[in-house]
Amino acid sequence: MIAGLLGALTGLGGGIVVIPVLVLIFHTNIHYAMGASLISVIATSSGTAAAYLREGYTNVRIGMFLETAAVVGAFVGALLIVYVPINFLAILFSLVLFFSAYLTMRRKEEHELYSSSHPWAIALNLDGQYPSANQFKSYHVQNVPSALTIMGVAGLLAGLLGIGSGALKVLAMDQALRLPYKVATTTSNFMIGITAAVSAGIYFSHGFINPLICFPVMIGVVLGSFFGAKILTKTQNRSLRIIFSTAICLIGLQMFYNALTGHI
């Protein structure tokens, strides 16, 4: 089992892969799969966030401010799990898979530069700078309230499904706040560990965190992120992204089908 997980997870971290592998291949209870996924999300995001912080892209102020909404969402989401039927969770998860596939396919565009910031951003001093070719480039922060709302939803999904919700967090900072893409991804990474830790506290007491399942997954994911490199996330290669998105969609369909026929 450990060998299988190690192989399957190398290079592909995150709940998006961990949960379907555990549920569809190892027939793990979906609650345990979510717990293991949550642990693996904390491990990988902490490791990479450490590196990004040193590079100076992460905007800690924005991260902490938006995290207030995300932790509330994560807390509520994790509390709701016991009231939600398992096949509903599986269906919701498959929808998240379709959405991630769509986001993977979408081409990212650079924003135009803004000369001013949203009033909340000014009050909270959220603007920042990021390193770019030997000098620091400044950026301004837009639409804070809608980013805060999306973060709440991201937290809720993270708590309900045991995922990092990284894609949705990046979306909030990229599309609402209009941050430079690299700042959005690194700040999202900074936040994921905290959001997931809030849910993990409640998962512990629900009994969803089974050490015997978490251990191989965690080791596999950490080793994977060290050696396997993030080939898929870093690649600009369009055909590889198409293959990846198609695979996610197929997994989503399988989860959806199993949920409807009561096999989860």
Partner 1 sequence: MLANKNMQESIGFILFIGTFVSVCIAMVGGSLYLIQHGNETLSTQILQSDSYHLSIFAIWQSAKSLSSVGMIELGLLTLVMTQIVRVATLVWFYLKTHDYVFTGISLFILLTLIYSLLWRH
Distance (Å, whole) CA 34 – CA 51: 26
* Residue whose CB is less far from partner 1, 217 or 248: 217
The 49-68 contact track toward partner 1, x by CB under 8 A, reads xxxxxx-x-x-xx--xx-xx
Which member of 103, 124, 153, 247 binds partner 1 (CB under 8 A)? 124
Tell me the C-alpha distance between 60 and 39, whole Å: 22
Q: Is 160 in the site for partner 1 (CB under 8 A)?
A: no
Out of 8, 17, 28, 252, the residue judged to bind partner 1 by CB under 8 A: 28
User: Least distance from C-beta 19 to partner 1, angstroms?
Assistant: 14
Residues pairing with 138 in the sheet: 129
Site membership for partner 1, residue 211 (CB under 8 A): yes
Tokens standing for residue 209: 């965190």
Contact pick of 6, 24, 72, 105 for partner 1 (by CB under 8 A): 72
Considering only 103, 122, 222, 247, the residue that binds partner 1 (CB under 8 A) is 222
Q: Any contact of residue 152 with partner 1 (CB under 8 A)?
A: no
Strand partners, 151: none
How far is the CA of 106 from the CAs of 144, 156, 175, 206, in angstroms? 23, 24, 13, 37
Q: 166 near 14, Cβ under 8 Å?
A: yes
Cα distances (Å, whole numbers) of residue 118 to 63, 80, 101, 115, 125: 16, 34, 31, 11, 10
Q: Tell me whether residue 17 or residue 191 sits nearer to partner 1 (CB atom).
A: 191
Q: Cβ closer to partner 1: 40 or 100?
A: 40
Q: How many CB atoms lie within 10 A of CB 127?
A: 18
Cβ 199 to partner 1 shortest distance, Å: 7
Q: Choose between 39 and 157: whose C-beta lies nearer to partner 1.
A: 39
Helix H or strand E encompassing 228: none
Binding stretches for partner 1 (CB under 8 A): 1, 26-29, 31-32, 39, 42-43, 46-47, 49-54, 56, 58, 60-61, 64-65, 67-68, 71-72, 75, 78, 124, 193-194, 196-202, 204-216, 218-219, 222
